[in-house]
Amino acid sequence: MEKFELHILGCGSALPTTRHFATSQVVNIREKLFMIDCGEGAQMQLRKSRLKFSRLNHIFISHLHGDHCFGLLGLISTFGLLGRTADLYIHSPQGTEKLFRPMLDFFCNRLPYTVFFREFDTDKPTQIYADRSVAITTIPLRHRIPCCGFLFEESPRPKHIIRDMVDFYEVPVYELNRIKNGADYINPDGEVIPNSRLTRPSEPIRRYAYCSDTIYHEKVIEQIKGVDLLFHEATFSQSEQHRAKETFHTTAEQAGRIALLAEVKKLVIGHFSARYESESVLLKEAQAVFPNTILAKESLCLNV
């Protein structure tokens, strides 16, 4: 199968600790890299991951809290020092360019490449990027400021040719692309050879959902239904439910409930509060509701 990986660069929350970096991830789809959030230290973690900087052309910012965007200016500057020439696109909520453009003009005024801001509305699901490999759609969330997650949906792949059948019907090479994309074959005698006789279905498309900072919000369930992998914030344990509600965050138990109701295949929880020296209590709470749950950790790589 084509590559579809999630790399965790950081999974902590707002207060820095010696164990966790601030929130940042990289999704690798067919060797194209997409960064989600860019907390402080993201570029250091990106180096450790051994992912190629040159393959990162799009960064997606969920919201404008510092632990999700303080690393952006440093990363942009480093790209310039490395001699980058390819354009860089920042997909983010309204107001991001107004905030960052003066700093770029001051600190990064001689970049050898161009930074483009593509701002979006966080109130409704919107497709904000698509190419031959993936489509990316926003997931509206509820936080203290405008915030959204992101749904990565792999583009459908062509069907698989059954070589023996193609040879048997003497299908010309120039017809193969049409057949892979679902067309029947009409031979020189006018006989229609059904596509189903010449091909096997491609693998099912894979989907990854990223739900950043949010209060418990069941409205996301319909949009993330059945995804292969869900990242959901789990800042607090259930004993801190009042604090979670007050700060518009989710408990680990609530994250497990979202995964259960959405019938996802696998849940990874993160955005851990600095108050926990061990996240085992969070893992136990989530697994009690949704057993197929794991903890995010720096340098973790997951196949979707």
Which pLDDT tens digit goes with each residue over 256-288?
999 999 999 999 999 999 999 999 999 999 999
Residues 166 and 280 occupy one common structural domain:
no
CA atoms of 249 and 237, how far apart (whole Å): 11
What's residue 203's pLDDT? 87
% of the chain with per-residue pLDDT over 70: 100
Cβ burial of 113 (10 Å; 0-12, 13-18, 19+) is middle
Summarize the confidence of residues 226-255 as an average pLDDT.
97
Residues 176 and 242 occupy one common structural domain:
no
What's residue 102's pLDDT? 97
Number of domains observed in the structure of the chain: 2
CATH number at residue 145: 3.60.15.10
Residues 210 and 65 occupy one common structural domain:
yes
Q: Which domain holds residue 274?
A: 4-157+203-303
Residues 54 and 190 occupy one common structural domain:
no
- 129-158: pLDDT as tens digits: 999 999 999 999 999 999 999 999 999 888
Cite the DSSP H helix spans in 138-210. Answer: 163-168, 176-180, 195-198
Residues 223 and 92 occupy one common structural domain:
yes
Residues 195 and 211 occupy one common structural domain:
no
Tokens (6 digits) for 69: 């965007």
**How many helices, marked H, and strands, marked E, lie in the chain?**
11, 18
- 41-69: pLDDT as tens digits: 999 999 999 999 999 999 999 999 999 99
Question: SS3 for 177?
Answer: helix
Residues 150 and 164 occupy one common structural domain:
no
- Total-model pTM: 0.91
121 catalytic residue (yes or no)? no
Residues 195 and 141 occupy one common structural domain:
no
Q: Assign 202 a pLDDT band (cuts: 50, 70, 90).
A: confident
Residues 190 and 62 occupy one common structural domain:
no
**Owner of token pair 């949906």:** 153
Residues 61 and 114 occupy one common structural domain:
yes
Residues 172 and 111 occupy one common structural domain:
no
Residues 196 and 208 occupy one common structural domain:
no
Which entry of 37, 67, 213, 228 is annotated as an active-site residue?
67
